[in-house]
Structure 1
Amino acid sequence: MGKRQVVIIAVTLLIISSAGIFIYRNYDGNIRNGKLVISKKSNYDASEEIKKALNLLNSGKKAEVITNINSSSNIVSLSFEGLSDRDTMNKIIAMLDEQGIKATFFIPGIKAAEDPSVVKTIQKHGHDIGSGTLSWSKNMEKLPAIQLVADFSRTNKILKTITGKDPVLLKCNSTVYQDNILTAAYASGNSYVVGSNHYLSYQSFKSYDEAYSYISNLDKGTVISIKLEGVLDSTEYEKKTAEEKPAVDKQPGIDQGKDKEKEEIHITQTVQWLLKAIGEQNRTVVKAVELPGIEKQDKLEKDKYKLRSDYYVNNALSGKGLLKDSNILGDKNKELESKEENEKVTNIDLINFKELLEKNNKKQAPVVSKFYTTQEALAYTFRGLSNEGSLEEVLLALDKVNAKGTFFVTKDEILKYPDRIDKILSKGHEIGNGGITTSVALLSKSTEEICREIYEVDKLLKEKGIATKAYMAGYGYINSQIQEALSAVTNIPSLKNYELFTYSKAPIVNKYKGISAKDIVENYFNIEHYPSLQKGEIVYFRLDSNLFETDDIVAEVVKLVTENYVEKGYINRFDEKSKSYERAQKPLGYSIVALSNLQNTIESSSQFGRYAVRGNFEPLKKRSYEEALSMMKTNYIGNQYIDFDKEDNIIIDKSGTIDTKGESVIFFTFDDWGGDPAIDGILDVLNKHKVKGSFFVIPKYTDANNNISNANPNLLRTIALNGNDIGSHNYNHELLEADKQELEKSLVKSYEVMGKVVGDLDSLRPYFRPPTLLSTKEGLAAVFESGYKYSVSGNITTHDYERTSAQDIVNYIEKGLIKNKGNIVVMHMNDQSYYTAEALDLFLTNNEKGLYGEKYKIAKLSDYLER
């Protein structure tokens, strides 16, 4: 060792001992000034490690940076920074366990030494422990190399003493990974440093919908960093970070404060929403240390399949059929990976898929995870024929619930299990194209290879007399290559009507291993988001999952889902004593049909079915502020609780009624939004009595592009097809006291979103209902400036969502009715309106019997208001 190195080491040790930066609790520490410090006898003493690291500084070797990778697999990586209190950590670990997720925890050395038991718990549950530096200091690239080595080595020593393993991963706080960081990290024993540009904290989400949208917008291979304490700083924000988004709705029971206790509540809620969104979008979570290997494997797979595809003969695709050549590969077969792969290449009919793809010009097939349909039906899909017992039980269950399913089969299954396929068909179910490769290896295949797989399985099915227009890749995998491949093969005449399917729900997942069917259904279907399944949904069940000890579990899940979310659905009922809501069921009566049924049933004037989301409808025409003020006097239908300041000099309507030229009329109107059980119940009653209503909708719940898990444009379309009026209740239910500029954006977006779904029908009206009926001068001005013709409140507000019986609602309506006027009754269609449909039925029946004297005419607003 040279003199220079000796001096460096001596100076370093002096800095370390005098700086006092390594104060923490320790097994062998001594008390000084009320704190415990490391002694040379301490288990955490890293003097020798620092010396060795300093000797390696000049080796020129650097740690490798792990960050987001460009992957074709639907993966993300989760890393947690810091430590919270023991209770919070236990909750987070339990949530990860429940989802079967393994993460990486970057723990500062001092934090680890203060509570080594928490670190051991994290490790015991299979998570990786990485270095979070000694005290999670920022801007460490500004420190000299010797200080970096001391910091990294000390941290590594602490973590190794606790876990028994050398931490190979390092993550620094708000630090640029310059060469001095990378060389010091490598010298100290950290082979990798982890970087991220996607950070979350306890403030990041105000609702589950925000978390769902955040995950849906992430690229595959993204590293997500979750701060267990504190908020994000300026270096951790990104353009698309969830913290820049406005809150959707304030969640009940969550305080918005920033003190320690509230922060801990928030971080567990953030993690819970995050993990749920990851699971629902079928994202696979991998550890950070696995990312380099996945990236290399992706590249190897792409190179391998590119080599193979180069060997294919460019046979011409003609209208007369396909050309064969048994000698197309020659000696090149020796370069392929296995005999099985060689046979696959040489024994299939070959099409010039390369030319087919070139002519297709990168077009991608749309992904169908849910049908745009008003048909009162949904689909069950299945994969995995290897477990004959599970298949038998599911076929029996489908018979019992009078359901027809679609079973996606692979090449291997077609060849191995022809009898099982025949039995599926004999029961009236259908077979879909499940491709050849089911594992994640499919996501690394070339587009040509995927084309070839789709074609080969279709050919095998047709040889058995089975025709299908449905392809599901792997276990519902989707990427751009799969979409492009499916689009390209539809140019082959025999495959021209194929569609690419995945699913909207998949309750058979790894985290439910070994639990009962009842627990699976209760855990998977959260009543707050899923009062029922929706029209057009695709529910996927994996039969060969090997998660359960008995063969009847999947079949039992099928029965429970059908009974509770298809035949019936949930709605909330208000309890007067507890002043809270209890869950109750209502009939729904949807059908479970094969995919081809939903594919082929097209909406027409005489039937419900598939429709297209459009963009060509007449938008609202904006007005000047002066025109808006004038319209307040004539086109605002208010209520008795609304008033303006006298100095505004505007006389407004406070009656809440419509001039019907002496006719006694009732306009039933319905606010907000709810699930299929609530809204279908109201529509059934209106149709029973052959009357129409007016629905004021919160359009974010009907927006197909909003990335919220319970968006339901099909329900909006159903309201329109039944001949009812549709107006706006503002996009996010914003009150008219909101910022005017933001309010106008929401008002315009509200109408545009609904127009895309029902703009081709005579239903959408330029009518607005103020949320909570609150109106202000500037708020109303924004409504009329945005192009709406009427702002409609009413003279009878039923508060039906907190009534305890249908008769109670009817009594309230009866008391408020005015003869010879147009009465506007304000009701609701949300998931708390348990008695609304029943009350509506009761009132309309009484009216038809003449119990109110002169029969009231029942109308929709557009029957009397200018459209």
Structure 2
Amino acid sequence: MEKEPKLIKPITSKVEAPKSERVPKGVINHVATTQKIMALTFNGLADEQTMDKLLNELNRFDIKATFFLPGIRVAEDPDLAKEIIKQGHTIQNNTLNHVLPDKLKYEEAYIELALANRVFKEHLNIEPKYARTRSGDSSDSFQEAAAQLNMEVVTYTINPKDTQMQSAEEIADYIRRFANRGAIIELNTYINPEVIRAIPLIYQYASADGYTLTTLEEVHQTNYLVDELVDTNNLAVNTDYKNSRPAIIEKFSTLEKEIALTFDDWASDETITAVLDILDNYNVKSTFFLIGKGVETNPQLARLIIERGHEVASHSYNHKVITTMNPRALQEDLVKNDQILTHALQIKPLNYFRPAQGVLDEVTAKAIGATGVDYIVLYDVASLDWDLSLSEDEVYNRVVSQVGPGSIVDMHILDESHTVSVLPRIIEHLQQNGYKFKKISEMIPKNK
């Protein structure tokens, strides 16, 4: 017996866009969290048979997801939308007519979102907090409209573009390649049937790498960044630096078998996590000198370093060889990086600075000191772990043959380096030879 067609009440546009008064917050394309958690989100509402298959796969792996649904489809099939909620997933606003942001005027965007919200309230008794367009992209007018409705616009971190009809393997491989803490994954429910077959593969890869897949709302609850300003080290541009007396440390004065193991630069979630896991395994705490340009992209990884018991200091924002910079540009770089690191950590970083490649001269040293930096921290043991023309054994021998009491060992967090493979050997050798590892801040009192 055939189902009788559903009677759908027309969705009228008796709504007027108010004068724009609220300032948009910008888009959410990533969540700053130190937890290994990612948001799995879907756009659109497919037919009942397709949605049943998709929901069954998610249920099979106990994955909860967020579905951005067009209001018109919820009005057409409210029972299907209710089933999504019943199975523990969440629903957010995908506009009324599943529109693209291109050429969408403020008034049009407002009506699309407001009418969709009306549908969700009437049929599902929910009030969406987030909005997304059909493509997942955004525009100024769309963000402006969302702000007037007290909504935030969500885009994505990882979009494998399943609309191009890739295979399940290609979709899952793409997601694994770009997986990181707080990532927002965007897929579609109604275009490429391979998305359903990709779910087990996505789950398998995520689990193997230690990630949990869940709703956008749950991931967003773990966000640690706040809008309030956090006190920085108050570094400042100071062109009167001729009489500056910078404090420079290359090695600590001690007869005790104590050394500082330090790391420069920036890397992916995978590499930074691997380094932190190794340090945890050997109960070693270190000092990380971070590049602000990288931290700005994934601030949660800088925060993770702090949460794992290590300390963070500046390695500049742009990572230029500072002797090639004019003093003012150098000072502006240091001030900017202090602000970037403070925001990422939500506390002040250590007021130390290490120049790129350890290159320093008298003028740049004075300019650095004049900004208010407490210590310029160099090193006496350069591992050269970044140099892939060297073998792992050569890097290992460089470090263990040069280390002495009070040494500062320079290593790197770089995706293309020997660090992860050689670090355990270096730590084991030094510990077996009676060395204790300390953070720079713990060693500085010995230098006074």
TM, length-normalised to structure 2: 0.84
CA shift, 1:739, in A, is 2.8
* Mapping for residues 264-279 of structure 1, pairs under 5 Å: none
Instruction: Work out whether 1:449 is the aligned partner of 2:117.
Output: no
Separation in 1, partners of 2:22, 2:284: 50
2:367 to 782, 803, 808: 782
Equivalent-residue separation in structure 1 for 2:406 and 2:386 (angstroms) = 23
The Cα of 1:558 is off from its aligned counterpart by 4.5
1:12-23 alignment to 2 at 5 Å? none
- 1:865 partner letter: I
Matching residue of 2:182: 536
What CA distance in whole angstroms lies between the structure 2 residues aligned with 1:702 and 1:613?
A: 17
Q: Which runs of 5+ in 2 are unaligned?
A: 1-6
Instruction: Provide the residue aligned with 2:161 in structure 1.
Output: 508
Report the counterpart of residue 795 of structure 1 in structure 2.
380
> Once the 2 structures are TM-superposed, how far is the Cα of residue 594 of structure 1 from its aligned partner?
0.5
CA distance 1:342–1:416, change in 2 (3 Å): closer
- Please give the per-residue CA displacement for 1:356-402, whole angstroms capped at 9, x wherever unaligned: x34x7243243212112222211111022224454345435435655
Partners of 2:430 and 2:376 in 1: CA distance? 28
1:595-614 superposed Cα distances (whole Å, 9 cap, x missing partner): 1112223xxxxxxx432255
1:605-643 CA deviation, whole Å, 9 max, x = no partner?
xxxx43225544232145542333x32xxx223xxxxxx
Structure 1 residue runs without a partner (length 5+): 1-339, 491-497, 569-587, 602-608, 638-655, 704-710
Q: Aligned to 1:864, what secondary structure does the other structure show?
A: helix
What residue in structure 2 maps to residue 434 of structure 1? 94
Aligned pair in 2 of structure 1 residues 518, 342: CA closer, same or farther (>3 Å)? Answer: closer
How far 1:520 moved relative to its partner?
A: 5.2
* Structure 2 residue corresponding to 1:658, chosen from 226, 235, 252: 252
Change (3 A) 1:446 1:404: same
Structure 2 partner of 1:840: 423
Given the superposition, is the C-alpha separation of residues 440 and 500 from structure 1 closer, same or farther in structure 2, using an over 3 Å criterion?
A: closer
Query: Contact 2:272–2:413 at 8 Å: present in 1 too?
Result: yes
Matches of 2:361 and 2:295, distance apart in 1: 27
In the alignment, is the contact (CA less than 8 A) between 2:266 and 2:295 conserved in 1? no
Q: Does 1:636 align with 2:265?
A: no
Residue in 2 that maps onto 1:748: 335
Shift of 1:772: 1.8
2:211 alignment counterpart: 590
CA distance in 2, matches of 1:688, 1:797: 23
Q: Matched residues in 1 for 2:352 and 2:314: separation?
A: 6
Change (3 A) 1:825 1:392: farther
Query: What is the rounded CA distance, in whole Å, between the counterparts of 1:749 and 1:621 in structure 2?
Result: 9
Instruction: Tell me whether 1:459 sits opposite 2:121 in the alignment.
Output: yes
CA contact (8 A) 2:121 2:127 kept: no
Does the 8 Å contact 2:74/2:81 carry over to 1? yes
Q: CA deviation at 1:450?
A: 3.6
Match of residue 319 from structure 2 = 733
Q: How many residue pairs were aligned? A: 434
Secondary structure of 2:153's match? strand
Task: Report how far residue 503 of structure 1 moved.
Answer: 1.5
C-alpha displacement at 1:403, in angstroms?
3.1
Letter in 1 for 2:251: T
AA aligned to 2:306 is A
Contact 2:27–2:155 (Cα < 8 Å) also in 1: yes
2-side partners of 1:428 and 1:778: how far apart?
Answer: 62
Give yes or no for contact 1:381–1:539 (8 Å, CA) kept in 2. Answer: yes
Give the CA deviation at 1:827: 0.8
Cα drift, residue 691 of structure 1:
3.3
Amino acid at match of 1:449: I
- How far off its partner does 1:669 sit? 0.7
Deviation at 1:407, TM superposition (A): 1.0
**Following TM superposition, by how much is the alpha carbon of 1:556 offset from its aligned partner in structure 2, in angstroms?**
4.1
Match of 2:224, as an amino acid?
Answer: R
Report deviation, 1:590: 1.9
Corresponding residue number in structure 2 for 1:208: none
Check conservation: 1:699, 1:730, Cα contact below 8 A.
yes
Amino acid at match of 2:235: L
Measured in 1, the distance between the counterparts of 2:284 and 2:101 equals: 56
Contact 1:720 1:761 in 2 (8 A): no
In 1, Cα distance between equivalents of 2:121 and 2:351: 52
Corresponding position of 2:142: 482
Q: Does 1:385 align with 2:45?
A: yes
Establish whether residue 683 from structure 1 lines up as the match of residue 268 from structure 2: no
Which residue is equivalent to 1:863?
442
Change over 3 Å in CA distance of 1:796–1:456 after alignment to 2: same
Structure ranking higher on relative contact order (CA contacts 8 Å, 6+ apart): 2
In the superposition, relative to structure 1, how do residues 394 and 839 fare at CA in structure 2: closer, same or farther (>3 Å)? farther
- Name the counterpart of 1:768: 353
Name the larger-Rg structure.
1
Distance apart, 1:540 and its partner CA: 0.7
Contact 1:798 1:826 in 2 (8 A): yes
What's the secondary structure of 1:782's corresponding residue?
A: helix
Q: 1:856 to 1:746 in 2, by over 3 A?
A: same
Pairing 1:366–2:21 present = no
Q: Contact conserved, 1:532 with 1:677, CA < 8 A, in 2?
A: no
Residue 824 of structure 1 is aligned with which of 408, 411, 419? Answer: 408
Q: Which residue of 1 aligns with 2:3?
A: none
Contact 1:693 1:859 in 2 (8 A): yes
1:737 match: secondary structure: helix
> 1:111 matched to which residue of 2?
none
Contact 2:37 2:213 in 1 (8 A): yes
Following superposition, the deviation at residue 824 of structure 1 comes to 0.9
**Structure 1 residues 447 and 468, CA gap change in structure 2 (3 angstroms):** closer
Find the residue that maps to 2:12 and give its secondary structure.
helix
Whole-Å separation in 1 of the counterparts to 2:396 and 2:49: 54
In structure 2, what is the Cα distance between the partners aligned to 1:399 and 1:841? Answer: 40
CA distance in 2, matches of 1:397, 1:790: 55
SS of residue paired to 2:242: helix
CA contact (8 A) 1:798 1:812 kept: yes
RMSD: 3.4
Q: Secondary structure at the match of 1:718?
A: helix
Residue 299 of structure 2 is matched in structure 1 by: 713
SS for the counterpart of 2:350 is strand
Distance 2:350 2:243 in 1: 19
- What is residue 242 of structure 2 aligned with on the other side? 626
